[in-house]
Amino acid sequence: MRVIIRQAGPEDMDAICNMINGLSVYRESPPEAMPDVDEIRTFLFSADTAAEAYLCEIEGDIAGYAVISLGYSTWPGRYSLNVEDLYSTPDYRGRGAGKAMLQYIAQLAVSRRCNRIEWNVLEWDKSAKDFYRSIDALPLSEWVRYRLDGPALERFASQEAL
């Protein structure tokens, strides 16, 4: 089986958007949660972007995608790679596409002297959690992730500082 992982370009937008939609359905997100295509294009492919998109092709078919960005941790004094999306199309789940993409991301992390890769998993996604455990990834139990978004973010940002 011929597997190719390659960096995505603007010409891959249709495939990426289809897979983002597929991921939205898989996550049971509401249809209005789908981001604007032009915003995706800008954030993934502009000159000053902090995100990178990668595609997995198996035997010439697009089997999945991943979006990553750099983070920084002061404790080890190194960058980390944050995986925002890791998605395999239904036809390629359980056939190695996700593992190939994550292994490629691990190779990027090592080559860039990152000390870790981090990502989020939905609590109910047992198959993803089983897969991550199979590659020796561990869930973090000492950290609680917080989010400030939407109207709450706008309100907080507009408040006067002390």
Q: Domains in the chain, ordered, with CATH?
A: 3-158 (3.40.630.30)
CB atoms within 10 A of CB 87: 23
pLDDT at 129 (0 to 100): 94
pLDDT for res 161: 77
**How confident is the model over 104-155, as pLDDT tens digits?**
999 999 999 999 999 999 999 999 999 999 999 999 989 888 999 999 999 9
Q: What is the pLDDT of residues 35-86, one digit of tens each?
A: 788 888 999 998 888 899 999 999 999 999 999 999 998 988 999 999 999 9
Task: Tell me the pTM.
Answer: 0.89
The residue with tokens 């940002």 is 157
How far apart CA 147 and CA 155 sit, in angstroms, is 14
